[in-house]
Structure 1
Amino acid sequence: MEKSSYSYFTWAFIVTVVGLALGAWVGWNFTGTISGTLSIFFICVVLAVLEISLSFDNAIVNANKLKEMTPVWQQRFLTWGILIAVFGMRIVFPLLIVVIAANVGPWAAIQLAIAEPEEYSRIMGEAHLSIAAFGGTFLMMVALTYFFDEHKDIHWVHAIESRVSKFAAIKGVEIAFVLILMLIFASFLDETESATFILSAIYGLVTFLAVDVLGNVLDQQQAALEGAAKGGFGAFLYLEVLDASFSFDGVIGAFALTNNLFIIAIGLGIGAMYVRSMTIMLVEKGTLAQYRYLEHGAFYAILILSVIMYAQSLTHIPEVITGLGGAGLIGLSLWSSIRYNRKHGVEDSDVTPAPHAH
């Protein structure tokens, strides 16, 4: 019997209830008033919705990579990977920024988050330029690598994608594109900020290339040992860095709503569980194969997110624009896929679901 779509979200619903109850408890402990508790409860809800809206494309890209991985590594990513995503990126990462930026120890950073949330938020804000440049560059490379592919034969926006794929034969074309865009944005910043932006962007580029090379080497070694070229630790590593890059925007955006690290961790942690549930559903139900342009919509959303992260080095862009823009593109690609299926008589039953990922 095939699982219903709702059943994939059982754990996400449980985490939502527990998380919101925890949010109310934190609210009461920090404010001691019902209005303060309700306010913090509402912020947790908004943060969860923000994370979900920003992460549709993340779930689709995760599913795209997961379907190539062995069941063992699929399971490892969906268990260990989600723990790293929730605790590593939503709690450890913001603390690590403060540790580096303020040159204090981890315990001092935690105390700063509890006792002086305004100062903690200010330090996070000062690190925003570096984070935007690093994360924007990494995500831009992820998107451009998808489009600059000479073997890519399915095109959603045919006029653009067919031409772009022809340029894929030129070695390093996507790197050149990123470097040009990096220099354009840096030219609008003052000398100090420009140097920080370029250095952070280069770190993002080097990280992408290093993860790509290391991932291929590790997976080739595993394939030689197992006799099957399936994704293992290399693909797992790629997905973790990709998840981290997606998280930058949500974590930084969260500080616009609250300075409290614990509220941010609760709200974004709830959202992260929905991303996991969506990923499993997409893999098991074969949704990516069923809707041929859905993947395209996700990578367009990633490309736009990367440009927005670059643009945030110049001006503030509300997170709602980022979230709605990505969700809108994915919705449009889904609608295009449904139209294609109707036109060509493709039925849901024509697609074979992937093996279970958990």
Structure 2
Amino acid sequence: MAMYRRRQSGGRRILIVSYHRVVADFTGELQRSLPGLLISQETFGRQLEEAAAAGYEFGSIGDAVDVMAGRKVTKRDLCVITFDDGYRDVYQYAYPLLKRMGVPAIVYLPTAFIGTNRRFNHDRLFHLVRCAKKRRLRPSAVTLPGPALELLKPLLSEEKTPSRALDDFIGEHPAGVLLEVIEALERELGGGPELLPEQGEPMSWDEVRRMARDGFEFGAHTQGHTVLTLEPPEVVEREIVESKRTIEREVDILVRDFAYCNGWYSDEIIRVLAAHGFRSGVTTEDLPNRIGGDPFALKRKVLWENFSIGMLGSYSPVFTGCEFDDCFGVLGMSHPVPGRRPHSFAAGRQLLAPPG
């Protein structure tokens, strides 16, 4: 299967993998965080070993772009390690391991969060809906805006899991709506510091600089972790340009690589990236990268703990190896979600208000 994928990709496999949070206690963190963002330090290390065993050498995003463009030739297949969002536990648990193993990586930063005590909207919403379920909240259409009811109803009726409901909701509403829903839910739940999740803190700029001095790379991920396909052109431009400028100012590096929030992108977004000196954009499409492919639509395999859990509920090297060799994709057992989307930002111009 690896040989088939290699031929299909034009002679070399270029695997780009994506992580979010690397934690010490996966089981404990699972009780309070979005599961799909988590991987234990132990499993993360074993996945790196499995990638090497599957025939990959580790390289940078720049290496991947050069190989795809034909400017560089590698003797082995290429694996690129990426992290989205700049969570502090990546600095605490992934960075030392990567440094010890000599594995390069790039971290994509939403700059408005780095060096602050803020939490990402997806983490705040996950925490709030858990609080709502725990308190058996029965939301009132009089006090909550329509989108908040849209999020809560399938959760409280148990039609959807919190993770599924949030994925669907975040994919349909711009950042302004998410913030207003967060504020409305906090009011409905009575306010208080316990409504802000303890976990999920971002890195500091000093931590970013320390990683950069050790050779790790950083890319832009908007300012406010914003799904750009849901935003008007002026917001797209500002989120891209200011995130790049902020990293370059704080870390004194050249930023040329970008990660699309939610993995969603459009021709309009790509034009802005190219106009401002970016060389690549990574998606979350679990598809093979091909020689000659578009560097602004790089495919990534998003990994978390359960990608390495076998039928007996423990770590499975065979199962992990199948992921890295894309056995499930070759057999047609995976169903990648397309990332290229039309721009739809009309909702961002509407004011939220309770129905009626």
Tell me the TM-score normalised to structure 1 length: 0.24
Greater RCO, CA 8 A, separation 6+ = 1
More helix by share: 1
